[in-house]
Amino acid sequence: MITAPQLRAARSLLGIDQRRLAELSGLSVPTIQRMEASGSIIRGNVDSLMKLIAALEAAGIELIGEGAVSQGGGRGVRLKSGFDPAKASDAGNVEPGGSLP
């Protein structure tokens, strides 16, 4: 499984745009756009999801599931457990230490 925020973060880490991800995965740009716009877990054609995940993994992305331990030694990002980014309306107001005012 992959979530829309994971997809956007993975693309950002790779420094690629939606068009390049579409090329790498063999999917259309509108498909990538729909996937990134979904609310949470990306739902869709299983074949499309498999192509997307394979392309990300081939490019060096390790998808980490909820509560899973990363097996790789590379750099990465992970959202803190219990944090709801939808409630963080102004990311610029994060205080030192990562808490919201």
pLDDT of residue 100 exceeding 50: no
H or E element that contains 6: helix 4-14
Q: Where in the chain are the domains?
A: 1-91
The tens digit of pLDDT for each residue in 12-63 reads 999 999 999 999 999 999 999 999 998 788 988 999 999 999 999 999 888 8
Q: What pLDDT score was predicted for residue 99?
A: 46
Q: What pLDDT score was predicted for residue 84?
A: 67
Which tokens hold the place of 37? 């716009």
Which tokens hold the place of 86? 């939808």
Q: Backbone phi, then psi, for 81, in 5-degree steps?
A: -60, 135
CATH classification number, 1-91, choose in 1.10.510.10, 3.90.230.10, 1.10.260.40, 1.10.630.10: 1.10.260.40
